[in-house]
Amino acid sequence: MDITQKPATEPVIAQHEQTLKTLPFHDRQDFEDARRGFLGALAPSDVRAADGRVVWDGDSYRFLGDGDEAPETVNPSLWRQSCLTAIQGLFEVVPGIYQVRGLDLSNMTLVEGERGVIVIDPLLSAETAAAALGLYREHRGDRPITGIVYTHSHADHFGGVRGVLPMADAEAGDVPIVAPAGFTGHAVSENVYAGTAMARRSGYMYGAALERGPRGQVGAGLGQTVSTGAVGLVPPTVEITATGEEQILDGVRVVFQMAPGSEAPAEMHLYLPERRALCIAENATHVLHNILTIRGALVRDSRVWAGYLTEAIDLFGADLEVLFASHHWPIWGRERAVEFLGLQRDLYAYLHDQTVRMINQGLTGPEIAEAMVLPPALERAWHTRGYYGSVSHNVRAIYQRYMGWYDGNPARLWPHPPVEAGRRYVAFMGGADAVVAKARESFADGDFRWVAEVLGHVVFAEPDHEAARELLADTFEQLGYGAENGTWRCAYLSGAHELRHGGFGTPTATASPDMLAQLSAEQVFDSLAIRVNGPRSWDERVVLDLVLTDTGARYRVVLRNGVLTYTKAPQADPADAMLLLPAGALAALAIGGTPPGIEVDGDTSALGRLLATLDAPDPDFAIVTP
Ligand SMILES: [Zn+2]
């Protein structure tokens, strides 16, 4: 029990009362759907690694109950969503299709074939995936794995593959592993280049360091949280490249729809005609999804995203009995499924089009975020609410995609950075004590957004000002209690936690050896280039020829002016050294080590001089303090 946690204040409680009046809490259809076809649950629902460490603890969410009454410290709408996403077990979608839900952030779907079972999206960790498969087999028999499908390149849809695919099968390549074109490149690059910073910020987004409970982490909207087991990657053996392409997997006919550049850079939908079932991957779930996640990523294209949903309706809507996705519960019945897809499509299209309309009227990101109101049909539907993405941050992301960080007003073209700005604001406002005194009044009025802004300046100007830190932590906490968005709640409460107790670093794993092993030579050089400490290596010059002994590929790698570049084109001038190594040894280079089995011809110190210029990324960097 964290005794520093405070109760909800009057303004937050009043906001919740309003929410209870305006949203259709009497509509319990989602609870029916989320429990439909229940076959059994994992009990107790903690999943452990080989060393005994808990990587998933479903029972820690028991406090949620079944969504009847939210405590004052949780937005009732988010509470309802968390009660739904916490429901755990094996469910029959239709005969022959099963889902394990609530055992990780994502779902595992199992499609029974002639000889065994096909796994669609084997969760994030090997441990949770193995537990999910075990639960399935307990109820459906010990069927062998006869196919794996990765719907898209995010780790919660492939990372657990080693928990379902025995090593021997993976090596023999007998089990087809199907993924959309470009899968492997995106799967590794999204987690490698800015991976350290994204992982540190993921800790905030999913609230990994927070206690679970009414004053702590209650869920992340898309699912409860991320598991913390072993993340692996077995590369696909079958790449799908075109919409309409078909495969027969273990006797099951599958029709694919490509959806690149939507929720993930490589993504696809699957239609199973014999079961009249459509898997929509992660492009239509029971949330407004992220156009830009708050952990940081490239901005997604909501216009293209909406277009794929229109296409899915056109291709498969006429003959549809059930719609399911890789998060949340299915929708049964043709009419409801098509209505659901249509509303999800309208949601992404509306946000896109109205944002750009307002951009052309001169509004900026923060202004559009306040001005944007969804049409009544989208306000009323539970599945379009911002539990994971939010209207507020998605709209600013669309602005960013089209216009970038600069809003066009030169007053904001060249601002001081946070510490310098903070010092000046605090001095102008009469000193830190005066700002904190005024901030207390705003806090009492419930203007938490304003308190966060002004106290942010004080904490960056005077990080040791105890009263400012405490009041800022209390403010983040109230903002968290008020948030309908699961990731906003986690972020606010994580900020409060770090102000009160110090930094928690990066609680979840970053890129695994399995993923590093899939890096192409070019991606390895890119990974090295972004670790070169520029100023420290301005005067260093290293020229290497790298020859991959198994593929014969040859690269010239040059460090000069603090920049590492590479080319495949033949070079006339000699290198300092030639390095000969197998492609499999490149992964060691990617983490700044000397690859095993490397042969050096020429200057033996050259590689060492290059590696000495590399900086280690910092998984513990400060966020809410300077
Ligand atoms: Zn996902």
Which tens digits make up the pLDDT trace of 73-115?
999 999 999 999 999 999 999 999 999 999 999 999 999 999 9
> Percentage of the chain surpassing pLDDT 70?
99
3-state helix, strand, coil in the chain (%, to 5): 40, 15, 40
- Ligand 1 centre to CA of 140 (Å) is 25
Per-residue pLDDT for 219 more than 70?
A: yes
Cα separation, 120 vs 267, whole angstroms: 13
More confident residue, 170 or 241: 241
Per-residue pLDDT for 603 more than 70?
A: yes
Name the token pair of 68. Answer: 């009847």
Whether 544 and 598 have beta carbons less than 8 Å apart is answered as no
- Ligand 1 centre to CA of 317 (Å) is 23
Q: What is the pLDDT of residue 1?
A: 65
pLDDT in tens, 45-57: 999 999 999 999 9
- Ligand 1 centre to CA of 223 (Å) is 9
- Ligand 1 centre to CA of 433 (Å) is 45
∠ Cα 449 451 455 (to 5°) = 125
- What distances in angstroms separate CA 275 from CA 112, 308, 316, 524, 532, one per listed residue? 11, 22, 12, 43, 53
pTM: 0.96
Q: How do strand 238-240 and strand 599-602 relate by DSSP bridges?
A: unpaired
- Ligand 1 centre to CA of 371 (Å) is 29
398 pLDDT tier (thresholds 50, 70, 90)? very high
- Ligand 1 centre to CA of 233 (Å) is 15
- Ligand 1 centre to CA of 115 (Å) is 28
Q: What is the pLDDT of residue 462?
A: 98
More confident residue, 183 or 66: 183
Which residues lie at CB < 5 A from ion ligand 1?
A: 106, 154, 156, 282
Per-residue pLDDT for 191 more than 80?
A: no
Which residues, 6+ apart, have CB-to-CB distance to 25 below 8 Å? Answer: 76, 80
- Ligand 1 centre to CA of 558 (Å) is 38
Per-residue pLDDT for 231 more than 80?
A: yes
Average pLDDT over residues 47-69: 92
- Ligand 1 centre to CA of 264 (Å) is 9
Q: Is the dihedral of CA 321, 324, 329, 331 positive or negative?
A: negative
User: What Rg value do the Cα atoms of the chain yield, rounded?
Assistant: 26
Beta bridge partners of 384: none
Q: Is the dihedral of CA 477, 481, 482, 485 positive or negative?
A: positive
- Ligand 1 centre to CA of 102 (Å) is 13
- Ligand 1 centre to CA of 459 (Å) is 35
- Ligand 1 centre to CA of 272 (Å) is 21
340 pLDDT tier (thresholds 50, 70, 90)? very high
∠ Cα 621 623 625 (to 5°) = 105
169 pLDDT tier (thresholds 50, 70, 90)? confident
b/e sequence 550-574, b meaning 16+ C-beta within 10 Å? eeeebbbbbbeeeebebeeeeeeee
- Ligand 1 centre to CA of 327 (Å) is 7
Cα dihedral: 428, 431, 432, 435 (round 10): -60
H/E segment holding residue 94? strand 89-94
Nearest to 400 by CA among 263, 275, 504, 296: 296
265: helix, strand or coil: coil
pLDDT in tens, 399-439: 999 999 999 999 999 999 999 999 999 999 999 999 999 99
Whether 367 and 58 have beta carbons less than 8 Å apart is answered as no
Alpha helices in 283-405 (DSSP H): 302-316, 334-359, 365-371, 376-380, 391-403
**Mean per-residue pLDDT over the chain, rounded:** 95
pLDDT in tens, 560-576: 999 999 999 999 999 99
The edge-to-edge listing of strands for the beta sheet with 554-560 is 563-567, 554-560, 542-548, 577-581, 599-602
Q: How many CA atoms lie within 13 A of 227 on its CB side?
A: 38
Q: What is the pLDDT of residue 224?
A: 97
Q: State phi, psi for 528 to the nearest 5 degrees.
A: -70, -45
- Number of neighbours of residue 174 by Cβ within 10 angstroms: 11
Per-residue pLDDT for 622 more than 70?
A: yes
Average pLDDT over residues 127-150: 97
Q: What is the pLDDT of residue 468?
A: 98
Cα separation, 582 vs 567, whole angstroms: 18
- Number of neighbours of residue 103 by Cβ within 10 angstroms: 29
More confident residue, 192 or 348: 348
148: helix, strand or coil: strand
Q: What is the pLDDT of residue 510?
A: 64
Q: State phi, psi for 224 to the nearest 5 degrees.
A: -70, -50
∠ Cα 468 470 471 (to 5°) = 65
- Ligand 1 centre to CA of 31 (Å) is 21
Cα separation, 297 vs 198, whole angstroms: 8
427 Cα distance to chain centroid? 39
Cα separation, 306 vs 132, whole angstroms: 32
Cα separation, 342 vs 506, whole angstroms: 39
- Ligand 1 centre to CA of 206 (Å) is 13
pLDDT in tens, 17-33: 999 999 999 999 999 99
Q: What is the pLDDT of residue 342?
A: 98
Q: Based on the number of CB atoms within 10 Å of its own CB, is 365 exposed (0-12), middle (13-18) or buried (19 or more)? A: buried
> Percentage of the chain surpassing pLDDT 90?
91
DSSP letter (8 states) at residue 67: S
- Ligand 1 centre to CA of 192 (Å) is 18
181 Cα distance to chain centroid? 20
Judged by average pLDDT, the poorest of 2-6, 37-41, 174-178 is 2-6
Nearest to 157 by CA among 121, 186, 181: 121
